[in-house]
Structure 1
Amino acid sequence: MILPDTQARCDFVDIPPGTYSLAVIYDENMDVKLGTNGIEIPTEGYDFLNGASALMGAPSFEAARFRYDGRNLDLTISLNY
């Protein structure tokens, strides 16, 4: 499912410089977990930074990492369904 022109924004404040990893889950039914079907394939939107692969579970920290220097940073992630 692709919803054109649908965006969300998250602003984080007071984050110290460092190396971080980022995952995004769109919890459509608000049950505080990633919904899956009978064979554990996600049924809700998700993605990891750098397009890190999520075969058989979440990717490693290294695969989805980015360096943050303390200045404003814009990252874009497109959810997989």
Structure 2
Amino acid sequence: MSLRPSRSHRPRQMDRSTPRIMVGLLITMILCSILYYFVMLPNIIDIYSFGLGVGFILLGIVILIIVMYISIKIKVSFS
């Protein structure tokens, strides 16, 4: 009987934290795409603006990795 609550408790924590990561991923993707288009719209042919757009996307990916690493650390400390 004591094993069942712990088993049902762990997936609940995982189910709560995974949507947060997904929402974070979506938000970062949307923000990066918005920044990318704001940089790209004034001069589409310019290579410098394209480089900036790629830079913003890479920055978003780095931020996402940091956020995921922190969330994993929090998960480990709580469990």
Structure with greater contact order relative to length (CA < 8 Å, sep ≥ 6): 1
Question: How does the TM-score come out when normalised to structure 2?
Answer: 0.24
TM-score, structure 1 as length reference: 0.24
Between Structure 1 and Structure 2, the one with more strand by share is: 1
More helix by share: 2
Structure with larger Rg: 2
